[in-house]
């Protein structure tokens, strides 16, 4: 490893992040108001959670010379939360009701997403119990509630794992909000001409050697 021991030690100018210091905030959908008191219980009894990830799908193109990868889509993976279940089975009852609210077994008519999806927030705290990282998953709803195994030889307690789907997630840090503001300001300050076909000419060097200056695209063509 390059560098001295002193340099290595100096890199740890803060303590290390602890995976055990977190909580979750799950708003209750309006259709589940009879369960409104369980929100605080879920926050305290979430034993295991995940900070969501993000991946960018790419496609390979060869314009000239070597092949290159270009992004075309962002994808988000589902997350799972595990809850300690009380003796009254309130946690199990709530998530059973949430699934049934989405797709009632009486007729299996799915409701509109706005009626059952909520913004779910996961918070990470530092060693001083101060908020250090926070993400909010938008349009979140449960898609699977695991079974609870029963066993006469077991003297443990139930743990309920629930899998959630969501549309995207937002970083709630000041730095991330500042970057969003900067991107918005830049986008509004640039005057992007549009073509009759509705495509947007993005500021890029790509393709400038393929389309002579001053020439426009013919209908149906897309400027990359």
Chain segment 26-61, per-residue pLDDT in tens: 999 999 999 999 999 999 999 999 999 999 999 999
SS3 content of the chain, % helix, strand, coil (to 5): 25, 30, 50
Beta carbons of 26 and 118 less than 8 angstroms apart: yes
> For residues 103 and 93, what is the distance between their CA atoms, to the nearest angstrom?
15
Beta carbons of 90 and 38 less than 8 angstroms apart: yes
Please report, for residues 96, 103, 148, the alpha-carbon distance to residue 89 in angstroms, rounded to integers and kept in the order given.
11, 21, 11
What residues have CB less than 8 Å from 134, skipping those under 6 apart? 121, 122, 123, 124, 171, 172, 173
Residue 158 sits at φ, ψ, to 5 deg, of -75, 140
Concatenating the DSSP letter of every residue in 46-58 gives EEE------EEEE
Q: Where does the pLDDT of residue 177 fall: very low under 50, low under 70, confident under 90, or very high at 90 and above?
A: confident
Higher pLDDT, 219 or 149: 149
Is the predicted pLDDT of residue 20 greater than 70, yes or no? yes
Higher pLDDT, 22 or 215: 22
Beta carbons of 164 and 142 less than 8 angstroms apart: yes
Beta carbons of 62 and 68 less than 8 angstroms apart: yes
Lowest mean pLDDT among 51-65, 70-84, 136-150, 179-193: 179-193
Dmax (CA) of the chain: 80
Beta carbons of 148 and 82 less than 8 angstroms apart: no
What fold is seen in the domain 12-173?
Pnp Oxidase; Chain A (2.30.110)
Please report, for residues 201, 211, 224, the alpha-carbon distance to residue 206 in angstroms, rounded to integers and kept in the order given.
11, 10, 7
Please report, for residues 23, 100, 105, 143, 145, the alpha-carbon distance to residue 110 in angstroms, rounded to integers and kept in the order given.
30, 9, 10, 13, 18
Mean pLDDT taken over the chain:
85
In this predicted structure, what is the pLDDT of residue 182?
Answer: 77
Query: E strand or H helix at 176, and its extent?
Result: helix 174-189
Q: Where does the pLDDT of residue 184 fall: very low under 50, low under 70, confident under 90, or very high at 90 and above?
A: confident
């Amino acid at each position: 490893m390059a560098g001295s021991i002193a340099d290595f030690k100096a890199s740890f100018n803060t303590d290390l992040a602890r995976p055990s210091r977190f909580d979750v905030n799950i708003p209750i959908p309006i259709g589940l108001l009879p369960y409104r008191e369980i929100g605080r219980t879920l926050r305290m009894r979430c034993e295991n959670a995940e900070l969501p990830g993000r991946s960018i799908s790419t496609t390979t193109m060869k314009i000239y010379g070597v092949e290159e990868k270009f992004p075309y889509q962002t994808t988000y993976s589902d997350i799972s939360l595990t809850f300690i279940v009380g003796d009254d089975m309130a946690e199990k009852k709530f998530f059973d009701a949430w699934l049934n609210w989405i797709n009632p077994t009486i007729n299996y008519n799915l409701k509109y997403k706005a009626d059952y999806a909520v913004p779910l927030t996961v918070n990470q705290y530092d060693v001083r119990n101060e908020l250090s990282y926070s993400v909010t998953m938008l349009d979140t709803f449960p898609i699977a509630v695991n079974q609870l195994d029963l066993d006469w030889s077991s003297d443990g307690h139930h743990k309920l794992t629930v899998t959630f789907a969501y549309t995207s997630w937002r970083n709630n840090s000041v730095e991330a909000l500042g970057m969003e503001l900067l991107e918005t300001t830049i986008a509004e300050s640039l005057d992007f001409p549009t073509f009759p076909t509705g495509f947007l000419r993005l500021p890029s060097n790509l393709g400038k050697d393929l389309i002579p200056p001053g020439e426009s695209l013919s209908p149906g063509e897309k400027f990359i």
